[in-house]
Amino acid sequence: MRKQSFDFLKKLLSSPTPSGLEVQGQKLWCDYARKFADKVSTDSYGNAVAVLNPRGSPKIMLDGHIDEIGLMIKHIGDDGFIAFQAIGGVDAAGLRGKRVSIHAAKGIVRGVIGAVAPHLTKGKDKDAKPPAIHDLTIDIGAKDGKAARKRVAVGDTITFVDDFEMLTDDLAVARAFDNRVGSWVAVEALRMAAEKRDRLQCAIYACSSVQEEVGLKGATMNVFNVRPDAALVVEVTHATDSPGISAAQHGQVKLAGGPTISIGRENHPAVLDKLRAAAKAKKVKLQTEAFSASGGTDALAIYSAVGGVPSAVIGIPTRYMHSTVEMISLTDLRQATDVLAETCLSISKGDEFRVKV
Amino acid sequence: MRAETFEFLRSLLNTPTPSGFEAPGQRVWSDYARTFADDVHSDKYGNTMAVVNPGARPKVVLDGHCDEIGLMVKHIDDKGFIYVQPIGLVAANRLPGMRVHIHARKGTVLGVVAAMPPHMLSQLPEDKKKPPQIHELAIDIGAADGKAARTRVAVGAPITTVGDLEMMTDDVVVARGFDDRIGAFAAVETLRLIAERRDELNCCVIAHSAVQEEVGIFGAMMSVFNIRPDAAIAIETAICSDHPGVEPAQFGVIALGGGPTIFIGRENHPELVARFRAQAKANRIPLQVAPHDEGHGTNASSFYMEVGGVPSAIISIPTRYIHSAIEVSTLTDMERTARLLAAVCLNIKKDETFRVKV
Amino acid sequence: MERGPLTFLKKLLTTPTVSGHEPPGQRLWVSYVRRYADEVTTDSYGNAVAVLKPRAKTKVVIDGHIDEIGLVVKHITDGGFIHVQRVGGVHPPLLQAKRVNIHTAKGVVRGVVGASGLDRKDSAKIHEVYIDIAAKDGKEAKRKVAVGDPVTLVDDFEMINRQVAVARAFDDRIGAWVAAEVIRRLSTARGRLRCSVIATSSVQEEVGMRGAMMNAFNIRPDAFFAVDVTHATDTPGVNQKQHGKTAIGEGPTIQLGRENHPALTKLLRTVARRKKIPVQVEAFLTSGATNASPVYSMVGGVPCAVVSIATRYIHTAVEMIDLRDADRTVDLLRALCLTVKAGQKFKVRV
């Protein structure tokens, strides 16, 4: 992988981008995009759109959401301990013992989500249910509520601190590959298409969408403003090759087995054909899944909007999604980018994407 | 019922159209519509429209969704058994023991949904006797192993249960997926009745056969943005409550053959509902009335709120056992619904608007 | 609270406005606001819109929903008893032993939700609840009421003390009241307004925020303030770690995060400080939604903020608010509208 691309990836993954407070990551994305795109703009809620070849046709939207799941301060107790709520699909069972950063008005305040020591829980009910989010608190080392309120406030956003590291020379671990990798792929595909500009006939609108984790909101705004003729959405997808996951229930997706495409619902047959052809041209082996029954992606918001936008989801296999130890393969990532760029370069002026009735 | 109309109904109902794979059914629908409509065309995802009197106002959409519920191949194991996910709201406990068609690239593959013999079932521990969930079902296509199976089917292939349209009496009819091919049928059949009386028509009528309703009302969302109708009527199946096991207190009374059903509240625009009532009375068509069913989403939800408020209403054809392989309805109610809607459309004045009177 | 606005509020609260059946309340709203607005219109589903300075470029919407939760007649038994279904989030066990009004085409029919010691259920489901109108049989009952007729509880408005009032469905007629009052109190300062202020009295919020979605598509606002009720958590048994800390009488509530646009929440807090209006702060709602929820992602993005009036016992017959909070909400929004500059846009700065 190109050094600048890798450095950008690492920086992006280490920046806090919880839904509703994505600016730090978005700024990095915009600065990077500005090097290759013809135009970069942002909208009222902080979505970013980078355009290449604006006069081209058809208009292809590449979407990846830049927001990550997080937490928000709900209540500061008089004892100085902080109650919180989830931003997006946070698993309460995984929270105990985590370090967090609270993004307060005056700067970052560090804290921990408490976990009662095992010595003290000995003898208690072994089958106790996992805690509910409102049973947990953050400890910032404040003496009491008054002291705590001097440093943080209700509504302050909270992120986890787990940053990027390589486990092997291909497999990487970080919090929230979901879905900063998607916004990374979108802008990287734009960069690769920019390098082969002479071949490019379509217009590429790479979108770094906000607030997906709380309801696909940024993509909903973007599709209305961009009005694309087709959309390719990059999102993490569950790798099902770690212990305890039933392939019968969740399908079979291997980490480092290649990017995935999905069949059915929002995944338009004509767009899938283009993706398959591009994968063949780049010698990339795609894995195939049934459409996501367990979760939505930005594609659900995009394909049904503005009269229908032929779309498809490209999945980056990820283990342990929505934990702080998400794991991906850099090869899968690079292949997804290659396929996306090649797809754009293979689209000709006047190409239409229709279901043949 | 006219022979050609009945043949169209049979052909439409017998064509597999699980959400996302509606094209074959849309073809049947288009071919029928083309014999009387001014224009027939489809959009990027296959929503199909047939128009009479384009350019006139108001623009009235009569909608039914062409997609049915089904299953999709999710995983093929090394023994050659196939695991599935639902397309739409599927009751898993109805499936063991059914025959299914897997619509693979090379053609239809016949399979069966594995069913534990009662002799074995009675010997299992209590917790294993529960009805299976969708992901616990296995489809057997008679393959020797996974390798053999994968030469015939692939992940992503759609699946429907086997079952064609059959008459039970000269009026009562059973089929798979009346929900909501019956609505798509009624929409285009209404258009045919209207086309016969074209000289009386003041508005533009668009029969719309929507895709992907069962997975989230997505097709209607696309079309309402493109068409921007002045009024939209969704023709659906009304869930009959007149069979054993259903409490009227909980579900109201909707009878098979009791007449088209209209609803009060939410998206059902009072002015359109009043038109249904008036034309039903004038044409002696029995109507059944129910409050809007919060648990049953229809295309009307998308029509009425997505582009600034489009006067909409739902009218439904009483059907028993919906979302099973044996949906039961009546030809009489299908015809009554088409007649009623034709009367409503023919009664609309040029440039008329539908407003709630504040 | 001033007499005129208080009278309007009382009238509004004692009018039935079940979702889908709002016209009686909407008529009151329109005739009140018509005296002060430049333009008043209604749309196909009965939303009402009142505008000050319609030609100004920046459009600021102040929204309250006029519909309330209620019931609707579902089935009349041969014995003359009436079964209902819910419209919005009604809690069935709380219906038992209450008096109701059935709003029929011919007028109001009074009934009671039966629950004798012999059949009362502590966790009744909606179909186990029935209304008794003392009809001889089903035939007589069907002459008086029809399937689809809306039903409300009869609990109406009263003051508990000089500041605190109790009523059925402050949710959200109080929001529609605030929207109308902002127009009234701004009408005298029209000369200083640099934006268009659009009060919307939305229908069908309780069944999915439908009216507001129609309005947003038609209006294309530059800012949208959803005025709604929020749970006061200052009563026994409420876990503040789970639900935050909000009290009646301590000012309007501002929410942070998600649909609440940072530029708008900042502006609200600045204006509140300047005008010395006490405000409370909450994290965005994790249960329930407001009209801002679907609106903010529509038509390319609409900057939204939820401004709420703390209310005890929401969705019961005894909703309770401090009227000063409603007045303060009007003052806050009125002052905010006057600070909006000509052509101003609200953007997250990246």
Distance CA C181, CA C64 (A): 11
Distance CA A331, CA A118 (A): 40
All residue ranges of chain C with pLDDT < 70 are 116-120
DSSP secondary structure, B292-320, as one string: --TT---HHHHHHHTTS---EEEEEEEEB
**Mind telling me how many Å the CA of B309 is from chain C's nearest CA?**
5
Q: Which of A288, A291, A357 sits opposite B42 (nearest CB)?
A: A357
Tell me A96's DSSP state: T
- Report the side by side order of strands in the sheet with B48-52: B39-42, B48-52, B204-210, B59-65, B231-239, B312-319, B261-264, B288-291
| pLDDT surpasses 70 at A125 | no
Distance CA C320, CA C229 (A): 10
**In this predicted model, what pLDDT tens digit does every residue of A188-211 receive, in sequence order?**
999 999 999 999 999 999 999 999
State the pLDDT at residue A120: 78
State the pLDDT at residue B293: 81
Distance CA C195, CA C60 (A): 7
Let me know: does A293 contact A238? Beta carbons within 8 Å.
no
Q: Show contacts of A334-339: CB within 8 Å, 24+ apart.
A: A334/A1, A335/A258, A335/A259, A335/A282, A335/A284, A336/A185, A336/A234, A336/A259, A337/A185, A337/A188, A337/A189, A337/A192, A338/A192, A338/A282, A338/A284, A339/A259, A339/A275, A339/A278, A339/A279, A339/A282, A339/A284, A339/A286, A339/A314
Distance CA A107, CA B107 (A): 62
Return the CATH class of domain A3-68+175-346: alpha beta
Among A226-240, A246-260, B115-129, the range scoring the smallest mean pLDDT is B115-129
Question: A227 CB near a chain B CB, below 8 Å?
Answer: no
State the pLDDT at residue B248: 86
Question: A308 CB near a chain B CB, below 8 Å?
Answer: yes
Q: Please provide residue B306's backbone torsions phi and psi, each rounded to the nearest 5 degrees.
A: -85, -30
Residue A101 CA neighbour count, 13 Å, CB half: 15
State the pLDDT at residue A161: 94
Let me know: does A201 contact A51? Beta carbons within 8 Å.
no
Distance CA B272, CA B341 (A): 11
| pLDDT surpasses 80 at A117 | no
- Report CB contact under 8 Å: C23, B356: yes
Give C309's strand partners: C229
Map tokens 């049928």 to a residue.
B185
Residues of C in contact with B263 (CB under 8 A): 148
State the pLDDT at residue A118: 74
Handedness of CA B339, B343, B345, B346 (dihedral sign): positive
- Report CB contact under 8 Å: A46, C348: yes
Domain extents for chain C?
3-68+169-339, 70-153
Residue A94 burial (CB count, 10 A): 16
Count residue pairs from B and C with Cβ separation < 8 A. Answer: 102
- Report CB contact under 8 Å: C240, A218: no
Residue C139 burial (CB count, 10 A): 11
State the pLDDT at residue C116: 63
- Report CB contact under 8 Å: A303, B45: yes
Specify the pTM.
0.93
- Report CB contact under 8 Å: B291, C148: yes
Using pLDDT thresholds of 50, 70 and 90, give the confidence band for residue A129: confident
- Report CB contact under 8 Å: B46, A357: yes
**In this predicted model, what pLDDT tens digit does every residue of C275-321 receive, in sequence order?**
999 999 999 999 899 999 999 999 999 999 999 999 999 999 999 99
- Burial label for A153, CB within 10 Å (0-12, 13-18, 19+), is middle
CATH topology of domain C3-68+169-339: Aminopeptidase (3.40.630)
| pLDDT surpasses 70 at A124 | no
| pLDDT surpasses 90 at A186 | yes
A352 → chain B, closest CA residue: B44
Residues of A in contact with B221 (CB under 8 A): 304-305
3-state secondary structure of C152: strand
Let me know: does B268 contact C151? Beta carbons within 8 Å.
no
| pLDDT surpasses 80 at A91 | yes
One of C205, C206, C250, C282 is an active-site residue; which one? C205
Distance CA A145, CA C37 (A): 47
Distance CA C139, CA C159 (A): 41
Catalytic residues of A: 212
- Report CB contact under 8 Å: C214, B294: no
How far, in whole angstroms, is CA C292 from its chain's centroid? 13
- Report CB contact under 8 Å: B354, C44: yes
Distance CA C164, CA B209 (A): 55
Question: B78 CB near a chain A CB, below 8 Å?
Answer: no
- In chain C, helix, strand, coil percent, each to 5? 30, 30, 40
Closest CA relative to residue B307, chosen from C298, A164, A116, A259: C298
3-state secondary structure of A63: strand
Distance CA C238, CA C218 (A): 40
**What does the mean pLDDT of chain C come to?**
96
Residues of B in contact with C218 (CB under 8 A): 308-309
Residues contacting C116, CB < 8 A, separation 6+: none
Catalytic residues of B: 213
- Report CB contact under 8 Å: C214, B305: yes
Closest CA relative to residue A174, chosen from A3, A6, A1, A4: A6
**Mind telling me how many Å the CA of A150 is from chain B's nearest CA?**
45
Tell me A320's DSSP state: S
The domain defined by A70-160 carries CATH number 2.60.40.1190: no
- Burial label for B150, CB within 10 Å (0-12, 13-18, 19+), is middle
- Report CB contact under 8 Å: B291, C47: no
- Report CB contact under 8 Å: A290, B212: no
% pLDDT > 90, chain A: 92
DSSP secondary structure, C256-273, as one string: EBTTB-HHHHHHHHHHHH
Distance CA C86, CA C151 (A): 9
- Any chains having at least 3 CB pairs less than 8 A from chain A are B, C
Residues of C in contact with A217 (CB under 8 A): 258-259, 296-297
Distance CA C77, CA C141 (A): 9
Residues of B in contact with C72 (CB under 8 A): 264-265, 291-292
Closest CA relative to residue B186, chosen from B205, B164, B159, B162: B205
Question: C287 CB near a chain A CB, below 8 Å?
Answer: no
**Max CA distance (Å), chain C:** 70
Closest CA relative to residue B262, chosen from B296, B232, B292: B292
Distance CA A328, CA A151 (A): 36
- Report CB contact under 8 Å: A42, C350: yes
- Report the DSSP pairing between strands C223-231 and C59-65: parallel
Handedness of CA B148, B153, B156, B161 (dihedral sign): negative
All residue ranges of chain B with pLDDT < 70 are none
| pLDDT surpasses 70 at A105 | yes
- Report CB contact under 8 Å: B247, C127: yes
Give C48's strand partners: C42, C201
Closest CA relative to residue B180, chosen from B229, B234, B231: B234
- Report CB contact under 8 Å: B85, A305: no
C349 → chain A, closest CA residue: A46
B313 → chain C, closest CA residue: C45
What does the radius of gyration of chain C's CA atoms come to, in whole angstroms?
21
Same fold, B3-68+176-346 and B70-161: no
Residues contacting B122, CB < 8 A, separation 6+: none
- In chain B, helix, strand, coil percent, each to 5? 30, 25, 40
Map tokens 């489009």 to a residue.
B310
**In this predicted model, what pLDDT tens digit does every residue of B172-209 receive, in sequence order?**
999 999 999 999 999 999 999 999 999 999 999 999 99
- Report CB contact under 8 Å: C345, A86: no
Question: B222 CB near a chain A CB, below 8 Å?
Answer: yes
Question: A180 CB near a chain B CB, below 8 Å?
Answer: no
B211 → chain A, closest CA residue: A265
Domain with CATH 3.40.630.10 in chain A: 3-68+175-346
Residue A280 burial (CB count, 10 A): 13
% pLDDT > 70, chain A: 98
Distance CA B21, CA A357 (A): 10
| pLDDT surpasses 90 at A121 | no
Q: Which of C40, C66, C69, C75 to mutate to test the interface with B (most CBs of B within 10 A)?
A: C75
Q: Which of C30, C127, C148 sits opposite B265 (nearest CB)?
A: C148
Closest CA relative to residue A136, chosen from A112, A162, A101, A103: A112
Count residue pairs from A and B with Cβ separation < 8 A. Answer: 106
Q: Which of A72, A77, A301 sits opposite C241 (nearest CB)?
A: A77
CATH superfamily placement of domain B3-68+176-346: Zn peptidases (3.40.630.10)
Q: Which of A20, A42, A134 sits opposite C241 (nearest CB)?
A: A134
CATH number of the B70-161 domain: 2.40.30.40
Residues contacting C10, CB < 8 A, separation 6+: C157
Count residue pairs from A and C with Cβ separation < 8 A. Answer: 104
In CATH, what is the architecture of C70-153? Answer: Beta Barrel (2.40)
A324-345: average pLDDT: 98
Closest CA relative to residue B21, chosen from B159, B150, B209, B134: B159
**Mind telling me how many Å the CA of A243 is from chain B's nearest CA?**
17
Let me know: does A212 contact A19? Beta carbons within 8 Å.
yes
Distance CA C36, CA C184 (A): 5
Using pLDDT thresholds of 50, 70 and 90, give the confidence band for residue A293: confident
State the pLDDT at residue C121: 72
Closest CA relative to residue C302, chosen from A305, A45, B225, A49: A45
Cα dihedral C298, A179, A255, A253 in deg (nearest 10): -10
Question: A304 CB near a chain B CB, below 8 Å?
Answer: yes
Helix or strand (DSSP H, E) at C107: strand C107-113
Residues of C in contact with B232 (CB under 8 A): none
Let me know: does A175 contact A134? Beta carbons within 8 Å.
no
Residues of A in contact with B156 (CB under 8 A): 262-264, 288-290
- Report CB contact under 8 Å: B48, A357: yes
Using pLDDT thresholds of 50, 70 and 90, give the confidence band for residue A123: low
**In this predicted model, what pLDDT tens digit does every residue of B39-79 receive, in sequence order?**
999 999 999 999 999 999 999 999 999 999 999 999 999 99
Domain extents for chain B?
3-68+176-346, 70-161
Q: Which of C244, C284, C301 sits opposite A44 (nearest CB)?
A: C301
Residues of B in contact with A288 (CB under 8 A): 154-156
| pLDDT surpasses 80 at A313 | yes
Q: Which of B272, B305, B358 to mutate to test the interface with C (most CBs of C within 10 A)?
A: B358
Helix or strand (DSSP H, E) at C323: helix C323-339
**Mind telling me how many Å the CA of B245 is from chain C's nearest CA?**
15
Closest CA relative to residue C278, chosen from C248, C319, C243, C302: C248
DSSP secondary structure, C78-105, as one string: TTSEEEEEEESS--GGGGTT-EEEEEET
